[in-house]
Chains A and B, each alone.
Chain A
Amino acid sequence: MSSLETSRRGFLTGVGALGAAAALGGCATATTSGSSAQQGGAVTLQSDLSSPLAEKAMQALIAAYSKQSKYTVNLNTVAATTYQPLLPTYLTSANPPDIYTWYAGSDANHYAARGLLLDVSSVWNSSAMNKYPAALKSLSTDAAGQQIFVPTDYYWWGVFYRKSQFAKWGLSAPTTWAEFLQVCQTIKSKGVIPIGLGAGTGTAWVASAWFDYLDIRLNGAQYHRDLLAGKHSFTDPQVADVFTAWKQVLPYFDPNGTAVTWQEASNQLIQGQSGMLLTGTFFADAVPAGSLDDLDFFKFPVIDPSVPDAEEAPTDGLFASSRTHNADAVMDFMTWMTTPAAQNLWTATSSGTVIPANPLAKSPATPLVEKGKAMLAAASELTQFFNRDSTDALQNTANTALIDFIQNPGKLNSILATWQSQAEQVWKSA
């Protein structure tokens, strides 16, 4: 009996000691001071450029960088659809990746306001960047006046179509809204889906392109930016006008448009299953090589000639975590990425449909790019795209509202009311 008692007591003591040790151990909510494993050392580039061509191009860039630098950069490519929701987790983790591909605009500023981004003003002072246009610099500057972003390239959006198809149908690129509707009608009569979409799960954001462009064409870029910043309401009559115009083309949309991804919609265009697609040139990295030869685009049709033309010209680039453990390596890499040599290499190894941010770099000399560049140069204003001009959180509200509208256009009023209340929550917590 007694031996059992002592053994039991001894056992309890052992367990008690365990418990005490556990209690004394760290708490999950302890915030680290940021002094992580190694000072110096390799830096990680977290990249969302996951399309096959883009990833290859990125690897080529890293390889070229390593050849001429003492620093090591490790590439970590994440699927684009996974990257966007996880970006906040990356930035707030205790040992965050050092460099990130992402966009400029209020999206980046939002992270900067939370103190998550590294101040890269010294990169902007380098000789490589002093030819960059002032517009790009102001785009990369946060509310505190520091640069937190380094642009590497930008691209454009347009309504893409196949030249051979249009020729077969006897169509030419429309410039006005009325012409556009006629083109849709003609294509439909040929038994082809006039407008592809590709706003399926994971890529619902492409629907925002239609909202953006209709808003810009009808109400102007300034109104659009103010709306996204919360200075107007989604229940305004101007926004209702956007949807009235949209309803005119909705019948010509792919009925499965909200069920397929933009990659599929791009392939449908190339295969001739749809006639036109409003898309940015990023699609070129995801389609089979050689598909671009038959493609051309026209700028989004003008609805109201009195509204100055604005275009969407999203700018891509890099920012870095403010808690990186090797700021020198980060700055060195980012500086190198802005040089004409690096940007030319990107142009050569990717699909070659983006415009390098550095004016000294050679743009791809294809007719498509020439046309795109000219279109952007002629625009009176440039916007970035819905989420880049606002926040990822607001983009999520747009996805919900717009997909709902496309599937249930009759519910417009309640959709707009819900959108406004959800947007207000986002603007409040920003």
Chain B
Amino acid sequence: MAATRNRQLRTIGFHTGASFLSAIWFLPIALILIISLRSTNDVLANGLNALPHSFAPGNYSSAWTGGGMEHALINSAIVAVPGVAITLLLGSMAAFALSRYEIPFRRTLILVMLGGNLLPPQILLVPVAKLSQVFGIYDTFTTLIAVEIGFGLGFYVFVLQGFMRSIPTEIQQAALLDGAGPIQIYWRIVLPLARPALAALGALAFTWIFNDLLWPITVLITESKMPVTPALLTLQGQFVSYWNVIAAGSVIAAIPTVAVFLRFQRHFISGLNLGAVK
């Protein structure tokens, strides 16, 4: 029937269009992957645009060891894992108290904390750098983790309190009747219920801390402490004009967040939209 054929054509048309769009979007990544596998001689002799004449996975090991990517990824983990854990802990604590109890100035507190996340970081760069020097904690992971936590906290509190508000009070009532105090209610009841939100925010938080450039370059000086995102710039400076190695380095730097994204894809997307559709 004409209607079915019409629909079929439209479907084909859609898929063609969507595939084309996706292909264009993926093209830069594909090109970089290709370059990352070409040998230096190939790139120098035949230029960037030529079809590959070589296969040189050795670029990845150049970036990994010589370019410091391995070390930088470890640094990123040192910063991101505690950063995410503590952020979620503190954020859920505050969200719990502010969403389920009549704390004075509840709303103001939530907004104040959220406002701290909305501040442009530029206003904080110089003071944080100099303050950490005054206290002798400049160029330490502690400072970087503390800053990442402090800066992001407000947003997570805001989102989590919105989520926790929707947990029915009957559950809390029941626990209270059993004689549970707030800490137990938090730990045993509300936190497990908030797990989807926590997973979503955890995936987001990991990505943001992992991909952060500004704070590491402000608070750290020692190259060997740099997480992977600023370390990429060092790699670029080291391997100037060796586009194949730089490409390999960029791929290595992107893998962890892509892995988190693929693994937590649902959570990731839902995190971005938490509360968007009630």
Contact = CB atoms under 8 A, between A and B. Distances in A.
Contact of A11 (B104, B136, B221): B104
Contact of A267 (B130, B138, B238, B241): B241
Q: Which of A26, A36, A51, A93 is the most central at the interface, judged by chain B CB atoms within 10 Å of its CB?
A: A93
Given A93-B221, A95-B139, A267-B44, A50 B238 contact: yes
A127 interface: no
B274 to A, nearest CB: 28
A374 interface: no
A380 interface: no
A95 B127 CA distance: 16
A190 B238 CA distance: 34
A76 B223 contact: yes
Given A37-B136, A93-B133, A93-B221, A78 B40 contact: no
Given A7-B104, A11-B105, A29 B130 contact: yes
A80 B104 contact: no
A76 B138 contact: no
B44 to A, nearest CB: 5
A95 B236 CA distance: 27
Task: Determine which residue in B40, B45, B126, B221 has the highest number of CB atoms from chain A within 10 A of its CB, and name it.
Answer: B221
A78 B223 CA distance: 7
Contacts of A81: 237, 240
A94 B133 contact: yes
B136 A82 contact: no
A4 B221 contact: no
Nearest to B239: A52
Interface string B120-149: 000000110011011110110000000000
B234 interface: yes
Contacts of B239: 52
B19 interface: no
B222 interface: yes
Contacts of A95: 133, 136, 138-139
A244 B243 CA distance: 37
- For A77, A90, A97, A260, which residue has the most chain B Cβ atoms within 10 angstroms? A77
Contacts of A12: 104
Interface in B197-232: 221-224
Question: Which of B41, B233, B239, B241 has the most C-beta atoms of chain A within 10 angstroms of its own C-beta?
Answer: B241
A30 interface: yes
Interface residues of B, number: 31
A378 interface: no
Contact of B236 (A44, A51, A79): A79
Contacts of A93: 133, 138, 221
Contacts of B45: 271
B237 A288 contact: no
A28 interface: yes
Contacts of A264: 240-241
Contacts of B17: none
A238 interface: no
A261 B243 CA distance: 12
B57 interface: no
A36 B139 CA distance: 13
A44 B224 CA distance: 12
B240 A263 contact: yes
Contacts of A8: 104-105
Contacts of B131: 26, 28
Contacts of B221: 76, 90, 93, 97
A32 interface: yes
B66 interface: yes
Contact of B234 (A44, A78, A97): A78
Given A77-B223, A95-B133, A28 B126 contact: yes
A320 to B, nearest CB: 16
A27 B130 CA distance: 9
A79 B135 contact: no
Contact of B134 (A77, A94, A202, A203): A94
Contacts of A341: none
Nearest to A291: B44
Contact of A52 (B66, B130, B139, B224): B66
A80 to B, nearest CB: 6
A213 B139 CA distance: 42
A82 B233 contact: yes
A192 interface: no
A80 B40 CA distance: 21
A55 interface: yes
A399 B237 CA distance: 19
Nearest to A272: B45
A158 B240 CA distance: 22
Interface string A37-62: 10000001000001110010000000
A50 B139 CA distance: 21
Contact of A32 (B133, B222, B237): B133
Contacts of A263: 240-241
Nearest to A50: B238
B224 A76 contact: yes
A286 B104 CA distance: 64
Contacts of B130: 28-29, 94
Nearest to A44: B222
B44 A271 contact: yes
25 contacts: A4-B102, A8-B104, A8-B105, A12-B104, A26-B135, A28-B134, A29-B130, A32-B133, A44-B222, A50-B234, A52-B239, A76-B221, A76-B222, A78-B237, A79-B234, A79-B236, A79-B238, A81-B240, A82-B234, A93-B221, A94-B134, A261-B241, A264-B240, A270-B44, A271-B44
Given A26-B131, A52-B238, A286-B240, 13 more contacts: A8-B104, A11-B103, A26-B134, A36-B136, A37-B136, A50-B238, A55-B238, A78-B223, A82-B237, A94-B134, A263-B241, A264-B240, A271-B44
Interface of B: 40-41, 44-45, 66, 102-105, 126-127, 130-131, 133-136, 138-139, 221-224, 233-234, 236-241
Q: Top 7 nearest A-B pairs by Cβ distance? A: A79-B237, A94-B133, A264-B241, A263-B241, A8-B104, A263-B240, A28-B130
Interface of A: 4, 7-8, 11-12, 26-30, 32, 36-37, 44, 50-52, 55, 76-82, 90, 93-95, 97, 202-203, 260-261, 263-264, 267, 270-271, 286, 288
